[in-house]
Amino acid sequence: MKYYIFRNSTVELFFNNLEATYSDYGDVLNCEQNHDRYIFFYNFLNKTNVDLIISEIKSYREMIDLILSNIPENKLFIPFTLERTSKLNFDNSDNRIDKAIFDFNNYLYRLESENSNIKTIKLQDFYDKFPLNDRINWKYYFISKMEMNPTHLSSFNTWFTNQIRSIELKRKKCLVLDLDNTLWGGVLGEDGVDGIQIGNTYPGNAFLFFQQAILELKKQGVLLTVCSKNNEDDVFDLWNKHSDILLKKKDFVICKINWNDKAANILEISKELNIGLDSIVFVDDNPTERELVKKSLPELTVPDFPQEPYLLPQFYNEILTDFFSVHSLTEEDLNKSTQYINNFSRKKFKNNFNDINKFISELEIVLSIEEVNDSNISRFAQMTQKTNQFNLTTKRYTDSDINSFRENSLIYGLRVKDKFGDNGITALAIISIEDNNAYIDSFLLSCRILGKRIEFEFMKYILLKLKKMGLKKVYAKYIKTNKNIQTINFYDKLDFKISLSSNELKEYFLNLDENSFKLSSNIYKIL
Amino acid sequence: MKIKKKIISIMRSSFSDQNIDENSTYDNTDSWDSMNFLLLVVNLESKFGIEFQPEEIADLNSFKSIFNSILNKSDKS
């Protein structure tokens, strides 16, 4: 099962039990289509500016819409709700952040209710286990951009695996219930109608609680049946006379009350209802009965029954989440989902390209070109050392290397700002000039700013510049490394011509005279 | 040396790499990437009950430096 995870911070460790590909931070545009499931896991970003946090949370909706317009319709999309990991409001009465989170989470629930292939995971259920001040570890936050506390890794893994299981699990259809010591305390045949325990005092109240809970399952469409070794008349008598008993004959679609083998009874139930054994859960307090039935009907689900009546609520919760959870996805759901035409978010984004541009232009991106100088040269060198993924040639340089290029090269850094703040110098190009030709020696972008097509705009800016300088030809290379595969077709997309292509290396050229370049000034502001 | 063995076993499980030994360094180990390294630091901290300062973490680039750093910490305590 291949997962694709959209994320805005370092979360790899939390999903290391999955086969997963990760988006760049905050990138919702670049996404491969060949994954089985798509996860949206955005952490609450711990910042001090409340307005910024709110506008960021508000932008998540649009990002989700974009994702939904991009991924195949029949694939499962699993968004996580957003939860706070710290409370850094400077005004305690300011609950705008909580409100924004509440609105976003409701948006997810609404999407889920309207699309059967969207399953929202409530992150709050996980965080409920930890006090607020334990949800973030500031050391790891600062050293590696982790918005979650890595000491919770293994408990997150376990919790998440259960969530996925409950999403995958086909919901069971039928519950087969024993009676004595299961739906009430005591044995009817021995203790009599007045001797069994059900009602307002312990343990009778625990059994009553269990009956109430099972009645809720019935309301959700679970078929209730009885399989009990008793005299049928005794039980019918009890149901008629006992006022505290909640589940009565009318609540069960089939009652097998006899002294026959339970496995045989259950098999009959399965045939009469025409449902498979794998859709049936059998609940019985007697471990010997459970064992026998399990042996003869291995497809049947037979959970362990609690030793003490006060554990019944917990037991109910287990069977509910494990077998009858509404968080379930069946083949039917999946097929149905393709028919759903009320997929409003997708429809809204049918005209993909324009909408992506609209999305980007709403980020209010400002690009400013900085030529190399004494104060930014260290940052330039550092970027060549650290950038792995979006790096066409992966050449590593020191300050003095770069200094030595200044004479016959154009060296441009790119500062990227958007409405959320200043990312600093996050892209770099080194172009050496010889005669009338330009050679792109290095071209790289920090992964922080990927997903906004800035790389194309930056390159177009450079090509335009080279053309204005009167140069004729531009030569470029892609040198393959373990990490830069995402740039393999970068120059192809810009209409460079290939002059050499092998597994490890691609060489290109572009005649500047034959091409015109137009900057997208409606989307990006270039200074 | 108990500590050495314990470190190696934590490194092997964090990196999912059975080839880790006392000569392993960031430079000679393919599985030593930033994510695995982070996992290693988290595991070392919890299994040894110690805490590394961010400045120290930056210097943990070989088995030997990890060993020395942990040895230092247990000496002090």
Query: Quick one: fold of B2-76?
Result: 1.10.1200
Instruction: Give A235's contacts (C-beta < 8 A, 6+ positions apart).
Output: A179, A188, A228, A255, A257
Phi, psi for B22 (deg, rounded to 5): -70, -15
Please count the other Cβ atoms lying within 10 Å of the Cβ belonging to residue A172.
21
Question: Which B residues, 17 through 76, put their C-beta within 8 Å of a C-beta on chain A?
Answer: 34-35, 38-39, 42, 45-46, 54, 57
In a domain, A146, yes or no: yes
Please give the Cα distance from A312 to A299 (Å, whole number). 24
pLDDT tens digits along B34-50: 889 999 999 999 999 99
Q: Are residues A318 and A202 in the same domain?
A: yes
Q: What pLDDT shows up at residue A91? A: 65
When pLDDT is averaged across residues A492-504 and rounded to a whole number, the result is 93
Residue A32 sits in a domain whose CATH number is 3.40.50.1110
From CA A381, how far away is CA A53, in angstroms rounded?
32
**Other CB atoms closer than 10 Å to residue A502's CB: what's the count?**
8
Give the residue, A525 or A327, on which the prediction is more confident: A525
Same domain, A272 and A291: yes
Q: What pLDDT sits at residue A209?
A: 96
Mean pLDDT along residues A114-143: 87
Q: What is the identity of the amino acid at A315?
A: F
Average pLDDT, chain A: 87
Q: What is the CATH number of the domain that holds A371?
A: 3.40.630.30
Question: What are all long-range contacts of A284-292, with beta carbons under 8 Å and residues at least 24 apart?
Answer: A284/A177, A284/A178, A284/A182, A284/A227, A285/A178, A285/A180, A285/A181, A285/A182, A286/A178, A286/A181, A289/A178, A289/A262, A292/A261, A292/A262, A292/A263
Q: Kindly report, residue by residue over A204-222, the tens digit of the pLDDT.
A: 999 999 999 999 888 877 8
Q: Is A343 a domain residue? A: no
Q: Sorting pLDDT into bands at 50, 70 and 90, what band is A269?
A: very high
What pLDDT sits at residue A348?
A: 41
| Shortest Cα–Cα distance, A524 to chain B (Å) | 33
Q: Do residues A321 and A41 make contact, with C-beta atoms less than 8 angstroms apart?
A: no
Give the mean model confidence (pLDDT) for residues B24-40: 91
What was the pLDDT predicted at A45?
Answer: 85
Of A236 and A350, which is predicted with more confidence?
A: A236
Residues A181 and A161 both lie in one domain: no
Cβ atoms A171, A324 nearer than 8 A: yes
pLDDT at A500: 93
Percent above pLDDT 70 for chain A: 93
Confidence of residue A329 (pLDDT cuts 50, 70, 90): very low
Q: What is the mean pLDDT of residues A253-275?
A: 91
Task: For residues A368 and A264, state if they share a domain.
Answer: no
Assigned token pair, A268 = 């009959």
Range from A246-255, A417-426, A506-515 carrying the lowest mean pLDDT: A417-426
- Helices B34-48 and B63-76 pack at an angle, to 10 degrees, of 30
Q: Which of A180-189, A381-390, A416-425 has the highest mean pLDDT?
A: A180-189
Residue A157 lies in a domain: yes
Q: Please check whether residues A131 and A238 belong to one and the same domain.
A: no
Banded pLDDT at A521 (limits 50, 70, 90): confident
Provide the domain count of chain A: 3
Residue A49 has pLDDT above 90, yes or no: no
Average pLDDT over every residue of A303-315? 94
Q: Do the Cβ atoms of B54 and A13 come within 8 Å?
A: no
List, for residues A456-481, the tens digit of each pLDDT value.
999 999 999 999 999 999 999 999 98
- Mutation for testing the B interface, residue in A5, A11, A143, A151 having most B CBs under 10 Å: A143
Asked whether residue A39 is assigned to any structural domain, the reply reads yes
**Per-residue confidence band for B61, with pLDDT thresholds at 50, 70 and 90:** very high
Q: Is beta strand A473-479 parallel, antiparallel or unpaired with respect to A437-445?
A: parallel
Kindly report, residue by residue over A282-302, the tens digit of the pLDDT: 999 999 899 989 999 998 999
- Say whether A13 and B57 touch across the interface (CB within 8 A): no
From A149, A168, A187, the end of a domain falls on A168
- Looking at the fold, whether A142 and A239 belong to one and the same domain comes out as no
Task: Give the whole-angstrom CA distance, residue A78 versus residue A112.
Answer: 9
Show the tokens assigned to A480: 């393959």
Residues A318 and A189 in one domain: yes
Is B35 in Cβ contact with A143 (below 8 Å)? no
Looking at the structure, tell me whether residues A160 and A80 fall in a common domain. Answer: yes
pLDDT of the residue at A354: 62
| Average pLDDT rounded to a whole number, residues A120-133 | 87
Q: Are residues A518 and A488 in the same domain?
A: yes
Q: Are residues A46 and A28 in the same domain?
A: yes
Apex A57 CA angle, A51 and A61, nearest 5: 140
Does residue A182 share a domain with residue A140?
Answer: no
Amino acid at the residue A112: E
- The H or E element containing residue A479 is strand A473-479
Task: Tell me whether A385 touches chain B (CB under 8 Å).
Answer: no
Residue A110 has pLDDT above 60, yes or no: yes
Same domain, A509 and A466: yes
Residue of B nearest to A143 (CA): B54
Task: Kindly state whether residue A14 falls inside one of the protein's structural domains.
Answer: yes
- The predicted pLDDT at position B19 comes to 93
User: In terms of Cα–Cα distance, which of B65, B54, B53, B55 is closest to B26?
Assistant: B65
In a domain, A341, yes or no: no
Query: For chain B, what are the domain ranges?
Result: 2-76
Confidence at residue A264, expressed as pLDDT on a 0 to 100 scale = 93
Residue span of the structural domain in which A260 resides: 174-324
Q: Which residue of chain B comes nearest to A138, CA vs CA?
A: B54
Provide mean pLDDT across the span A352-375.
82
pLDDT of residue A247 exceeding 60, the answer is yes
The ipTM of this complex is 0.87
- The per-residue pLDDT for A314 is 92
Closest residue on chain A to B55 (Cα): A143
Q: What is the pLDDT of residue A89?
A: 67
Q: Does A236 touch chain B (CB under 8 A)?
A: no
